[in-house]
Structure 1
Amino acid sequence: MKHIVGRTILNLAAALVLTAGATNGAAAQQELRFTTSVPANSFIYADILEVWAQRVTEDSEGTISIRLFPAGTLGRDAAAHLDMVRNGSVDLAYFIPGYTPGAMREATIVELPNMVPNATIGSVAATQMVEEELWTGQGMEDIKILGMFSTAPGLLTTREQVASLDDVANLNLRGAGPTLLASIEALGATPVGGLTAPQIAEALSRGLVGGTINEWVALTIFGIAEAAHYHLDVNMGASPIMVGINRQTYDRLPAQAQAAIDRHSGEAFARLWGEEFDARIAAFRGAAEEDANRTFTTLSDEEAARWNGRLQSVIDHWIETTPNGQDLHDRFQAAVTAAAG
């Protein structure tokens, strides 16, 4: 009887040890919450952000998992996502710094006309600026930047055809961020800010704006191209986009988790973003060109010179008003050239 009782006690003790071990193992894997404004059926979510999160999770030796929340399901206001990761209400966020002017002032160089040829080159060059600590932003101390991206350059999409400066005069045009808004004003149009990408289609449909500056990804996934069918092929500048993690969250992570995040961030993340983005630009534009209800316009050489003359004033103003503006401009141009390689 004593032997049976003894064995029972030993078995119970072993079971408790196994249960405790399983509990500790489960607790060791920390879930990080990642808020995004893009819908789950978009390629940005499925083929970039989710792929990145899966790679980090698999490489973290079981220490973390990353849970994505699409389409604002964790924070409906896209303009608030930067503050959410700053204050730690989420661990990671995909955010557009143009929605919070001043947050990453140096990155507004991406928005300058004719500066970025495509998303891959722009993203790799922008990442170099961050890694060389040339772009530090304001109030970004609480965030570790994991991805510094550029969209492809935006074109002008309008409700009515635009083929000259005369056509664009006094037209209400939406832009994201102060630099794009300055470009709109330089052309003689009326700049409209404060509209996030998911709000543009409705604003066009209601006639609140006559046009918008976006690339083909935004035009397609946010339904903007359904509300406006005229497209002017001008390089109006791109938009900087970022992924960041709350710095305190990152600092508290195990070394394995930090190493996994670092391996898949920076240039690796920029290339994942850029290559997927550029491939979709080609696909979305190609499909739009098959639509007989759309009109694509290219400026004449004379008209293009007029537009570029107006837009040069925006570049000059950016250099003059940005601390170390000329140096930042030259360094970024060199990074773009190197990335184009």
Structure 2
Amino acid sequence: MSSCCRYSFKNLFQNSICLLTPGDGFGDFEEGFMVEWGKQLVIGTNYFTDPMGNVMNFEFENDLISKGIFRVPYVFEDFYELEDLHYICTLFCGDRYFRIRIFDTNWTEIEYPGLGNSYIAEEDLVWSRFLSSFRVKLGPTESMICLDAYFHLFWEKKLIYGEEMQFIDPCYKSFKFKFDVKPNGTTIFRGGIGKMFKYYNLKDEVYLHLNYVSKNVFLYKLFSIEGMEIDYNINGGSCSRSANVGSDLADCGADYSLVKCLTDYDVRSSSLYLNASFGGSALSRSKEKYILSNGNRNSWECSIRWVARSKSECYLGLGWKRFVSENNLCVGDSIKVEVQKDDDKTIIITKV
């Protein structure tokens, strides 16, 4: 097993950055943060704690937070004496709790009100997880990945110059990039984009979610422009690395069904891969939406995304993750995926 397996994807993209304009009264979360954590945010009072232990209450409103926007308390700017533009950096800790750090536009951290010194020690793991997440749009012809200057400014002491940067996906497939830092502080990565697109059989633009976790190591996920996470297991490796995970099996008793043993990726992902033998016979490329049913008269709307390189391979998309959650599906569960001949708009999924 690769040594990179020690890295966890559980906390990917926990932090976000917004530029606060004095008097505006609103802040927003980055799109990458909302993709990873938007459904975990709780309406009502949320608690933002600074390095000195000061706590500010933020009220999340449903119509705003659904768009990634939150209202900034009117006392916030006065308390921190913010008279100019400042970056508000947040780290989501779960269950209504956030850590917060504030920087001016030159990335100098403010002095927080309170007794004592608000200096952040390098070994303080909670506070050092800030400014480590990035969302980059990539196309198949791109030659480089560019990160804003604050990455180098904040992580300079934890970079090994002269050595390649390793990018690791949830299946622990890794790609290596050479990197250098421009005079303006921008960090440039070159060398692995073409190999990445070829490996995953990607033809269109994608969003790359990056999280810096160790010296010269990024964890990453890839999403379509529509927000669907790709299948990292496309070339046959097991994301769960479990001996109990089997391949998709055709059900000989029916023309339009197959049996799948769910992997860790299947359960956590927002999509489910369906092989060509099933997709080609049971589903229609002209249909973009289906209804998922658990066989108990409960239903969920779901989109379908077809693989560009194939006429028959496809994925269950938006709706699959909710189906997994509300039906308590787990890693190792065997499910039967079926389309009945007299109802080609419904996909029935049951445990077997």
User: What is the TM-score of this pair, normalised by structure 2?
Assistant: 0.22
Q: Select the structure that is richer in strand.
A: 2
- In the superposition, the TM-score normalised over structure 1's length comes to 0.22
Q: RCO higher in 1 or 2 (8 Å CA, sep ≥ 6)?
A: 1
Task: Please identify the structure whose Cα radius of gyration is greater.
Answer: 1
